[in-house]
Amino acid sequence: MNSNYRLSVPRSDMSLQEFYRHGGTMDSDLDFSPKTLIAPRIHNRNLVDKDWVARVLDISLILFAAPYIILAFLVITILIKLDSPGPVFYRQTRIGRFGRKFHIYKFRTMVQNADQVLQNHLDNSPALKAQWLTTHKLKQDPRITRLGSILRKLSLDELPQLWNILIGDMGLVGPRPIVDAEVEKYGKCFDLYIQVRPGLTGLWQVSGRNDTTYERRVELDEYYVLNRSLKLDFQIIWKTIFVVLKKDGAY
């Protein structure tokens, strides 16, 4: 089944609430086949020029840093093998541009039976369960390995996502890719989220990250999509360096 979707995008000076209040609508005939997965495809011609320029920038920066990236991959791979049993990489399904699902890659930072360990802790601790349901994060996560804790604080566990960037699933800058369970938290902003590629870093990462509320994260993603520019991308990349070094909001 083929479907075409159109979205009238709000101006950069208009909030999403104002957009819908003034009659902004999305015309769609939903396709519930497996290929559609979760959301309608949205075409926004205003983002096309910015997108190809950002792609060239992303690939150029990765190729420039390739020798250092390869060295980091080798060192981290050896350390993971020495630290705990299990695979080097972790793969999870996330939601990308146009609502398409893709596999995101990370260095493994958890024990092998992570899902069972998490469920046991959530069942025995209402406070941890409430924190998980609110943010999908735990400050004291029982699943994290010794090395995994270090990789997460330095955001090095995200390095394999450079492959996702090279093949076009992600960009260097954009909203962080989300899972199905998080779609409801985005509400109407989800329509904006899927207009751009998810990013390795983004406005949320340099604005408090896990120390902020989920509502704030959604607001920051909305702002980024409506005000996207190469200048903003460079500002976020530059600030990311200092945020990573300071380990702000990372756990």
Residue 80 makes CB contacts below 8 A (sequence gap 6+) with 88, 107, 108, 147
| Local structure of 139: helix, strand or coil | coil
For 164-193, b/e burial (b = at least 16 CB within 10 A) is bbeeebbbbbbbbbbeeebbebbeeebbbb
| Residue 131 within a domain | no
Please tell me the predicted confidence (pLDDT) of residue 183: 93
Let me know: does 84 contact 117? Beta carbons within 8 Å. no
Q: Is 68 within a domain?
A: yes
Is position 17 within any domain? no
How many domains, in total, are found in the chain?
1
Q: Is residue 127 part of a domain?
A: no
Domain-located, residue 63: yes
Domain region containing 164: 42-109+144-245
What SS3 state is found at 42?
coil
How far apart CA 58 and CA 174 sit, in angstroms, is 12
Residues of the chain with pLDDT under 70: 1-50, 135, 248-251
pLDDT at 137: 73
The pLDDT assigned to 248 comes to: 65
Q: Using one digit for the tens of pLDDT, what is the confidence trace for 160-211? A: 999 999 999 999 999 999 999 899 999 989 999 999 999 999 999 898 877 7
Check if the beta carbon of residue 174 is closer than 8 Å to that of residue 146: no
pTM above 0.85, yes or no: no
The identity of residue 178, as a single letter, is: I
Cα(249)–Cα(240) distance, rounded to whole angstroms?
Answer: 12
Query: Which of 21, 29, 22, 25 shows the shortest CA–CA distance to 1?
Result: 29
Domain assignment present for residue 78? The answer is: yes
The one-letter amino acid at 79: L
Task: Please report how the helices 48-64 and 66-83 are oriented relative to each other, as an axis angle in degrees rounded to 10.
Answer: 70
pLDDT of residue 115: 78
**Residue 208: inside a domain:** yes
Containing H/E element for 89? strand 89-95
Cα angle 227, 229, 232 (rounded to 5 degrees) comes to 85
In the prediction, which pLDDT does 203 show? 92
Q: Is 101 helix (H, G, I), strand (E, B) or coil?
A: strand
Question: Is residue 139, in this structure, part of any structural domain at all?
Answer: no
* pLDDT reported for residue 132: 73
Q: Are 125 and 229 in contact (CB under 8 A)?
A: no
Query: How many Å apart are CA 196 and CA 93, to the nearest integer?
Result: 17
